[in-house]
Amino acid sequence: MLNKKFLVGMLVIVLVFAITVIGCPKSETSLEGKWLSDDGSILVLDDGIFEISFEDTVYYKGTFYTEEDMLTLTVTHLNGDNFGLEEGLINQEELIEQLADEVAAELEISIEEAAELIADQFVTISYDFELSNDTLTWLMDGFALNNYTRIK
């Protein structure tokens, strides 16, 4: 009799476990994936690399990591179109090489100062974030800065 009760109890535990693991929809807890912003831009987070695009054109690319509820993005590439250059991603060295002389002449500063101004475009930014179901919210000082919805 004890064995029968034990077996029935085990069967119930296995069924509950199976329903929990297989039968219940899981909410996504990872930031990885594609996200649509309220402004129409698309944020892609994939294996430590991010891209921000708008209307099928990538404008920013770089690396990201999370620590607790903090998302840190480091820009490594910008779209040349942002600076009146040919459209396409360009890294810091290439951008400085292509623009330093022009920026120095226009602003009447040294090439070194122009290179520093250009390098300042490749920033590292950290945001607090909240992830609720398929909504990612970037926060600054506790206020929502941008909302993203996961694209499936």
Separation between Cα atoms, residue 105 and residue 127, nearest integer Å: 36
Judge contact between 140 and 73, C-beta under 8 A.
no
What DSSP state is assigned to residue 26?
P
CA distance 137 to 145: 7
Q: Which residue ranges make up each domain of the chain? A: 33-151
Quickly state the pLDDT bin for 140 (edges 50, 70, 90).
Answer: confident
**Residue 141, pLDDT score:** 84
How far apart, in Å, are the Cα atoms of 149 and each of 33, 56, 131? 10, 17, 10
CATH number for the domain formed by residue range(s) 33-151:
2.40.128
- Can you state the angle between helices 92-107 and 111-119, rounded to 10 degrees? 130
Residue 93, number of CB atoms within 10 A of its CB: 11
* Angstrom distance (rounded) from CA 53 to CA 99: 23
pLDDT for 42-55, tens place per residue?
999 999 999 999 99
Using pLDDT thresholds of 50, 70 and 90, give the confidence band for residue 29: low
Predicted confidence (pLDDT) at residue 2 exceeds the cutoff of 70: no
